[in-house]
Structure 1
């Protein structure tokens, strides 16, 4: 049986987690589980027939698929369609949740992996559903399950993610930047490294990722900064480790992207651990 999620299930939920990955005909339309861990955890690439929504009560999570990668805080969750290969990694201590949706109920949900904003209603519905035994739903529970499905279907898709290029040379550049976000090579230098004309690199990278190479590199740095900040590194250290010329530039870009400063970003999550 493949690993189901980058969450460590609490002992009473082990049977429920097994059912979540092997949901059979006649079982509930969705199963919710919760889990927590005091150390980082990682799941290898895997897939399962149920669709899956992954979120957190506290901490930070990175989810990767063939289509891209998302690093999400507690305010967001990642939707993974039925049978989509994915891997996940937590950064530091975390408390999280997952909702598994029966394959036949995934048709009305997003067909591509994406990150969504988590509403208070969605979070409360997850907490309610996580208390259920694996059994056919009565009317009241069926209504809560439908609320969950509706929230997944209509939630805003607005968390910062990374679309990966598919062309081999572009993917080689993208992989190098993910491995070392501080790499400051210019577009011309990257083009020479990948044996591409600069104009071709610029045009094709934008077509395949929806961003310029410069904007994509900034997104890589910001997502990596979330990981480093969640690990407890000081803001100044994070800024210089990621190649920013000064701390003020990093803080300003972080604020424009996430709506708050790096020093305050994890305050709610830290209080919840």
Structure 2
């Protein structure tokens, strides 16, 4: 399903609440085939975590696909959109500006360790009915400390601004496994292979090959999370053998497809270049 056709969710007003006595306001939601009504920003930072299902977060010219082993940190006042192509158990944490200063100042995918996951789930059960110096308040501050220590990952897609590059990217997104070479893509973009290769590096910071690899990984994660088999995903995305796809996935993300989606992965092995 195209994200543009997904039903729209009403804005969540918690992000605009300012209260230094509530360093974190948790919010639990069950979402199915939906997305934001429009790009938005709010004064509270937001940790977007799906304990089940896969999300797609768009911020500026970047697209981030997020499985249950990871979460997205959105700093205060950063415009973003969130889409849920499937069924998602959503756990939001809205952080007061005063406690979010140690977290990244740009949208970042963070690895969710077993401890961080349990803290997030516990915070949701506490809700916002806690007072300063209470056990609930102390839990929230421990959660902030753990968030600040979470490892970042780089499964993101910079989009670029040049019209030729955008034409190429739109074609790749429409058919991730269909274009094998930059020569074939250049004809779609109405430019030369050499120029297109330069545009990828200049506008996204990635080579054509590295950008395509990230696109395939993002697409694979979404399809696997929706229930498609590894074999189906591998061949649909242009791989001639299942073992070649699994090897690529493991080398890039440090785990097999099943381990990655379940959170049993080693971020130190991630190689998306």
Query: What TM-score comes out, normalization by structure 1 length?
Result: 0.81
CA distance in 2, matches of 1:77, 1:22: 21
Task: Report deviation, 1:193.
Answer: 3.1
Q: Within 5 Å, give how 1:45-84 maps onto structure 2.
A: 45-84=39-78
Q: Give the alignment partner of residue 202 of structure 1, picking from 197, 203, 209.
A: 197
**Count of aligned pairs between the two proteins:** 256
CA distance in 1, matches of 2:59, 2:133: 35
Q: Are the counterparts in 2 of residues 31 and 134 from structure 1 also a CA contact under 8 Å?
A: no
Deviation digits for residues 102-153 of structure 1 (CA, Å, limit 9, x no counterpart): 2344333211111011123322322332213356432544433232223333
Q: Give the alignment partner of residue 105 of structure 2, picking from 99, 108, 111.
A: 111
* Partner residue in 2 for 1:229: 224
* Partner residue in 1 for 2:146: 151
* Partner residue in 1 for 2:121: 127
Task: Report deviation, 1:212.
Answer: 1.0
Q: Are the counterparts in 2 of residues 35 and 97 from structure 1 also a CA contact under 8 Å?
A: yes
Q: Give the alignment partner of residue 33 of structure 2, picking from 40, 55, 79.
A: 40
CA distance in 1, matches of 2:82, 2:50: 13
Task: Report deviation, 1:90.
Answer: 2.5
Is the deviation greater in 40-49 or in 249-258? 40-49
CA distance in 2, matches of 1:227, 1:41: 15
What are structure 1's unaligned runs of at least 5 residues? 1-5, 10-16
Query: What TM-score comes out, normalization by structure 2 length?
Result: 0.81
What are structure 2's unaligned runs of at least 5 residues? 1-6, 265-273
Q: Within 5 Å, give how 1:81-96 maps onto structure 2.
A: 81-96=75-90
**Residue 92 of structure 2 aligns to a residue in which SS?**
strand
Q: Are the counterparts in 1 of residues 28 and 91 from structure 2 also a CA contact under 8 Å?
A: yes
Q: Give the alignment partner of residue 252 of structure 2, picking from 257, 264, 269.
A: 257
CA distance in 1, matches of 2:138, 2:258: 40
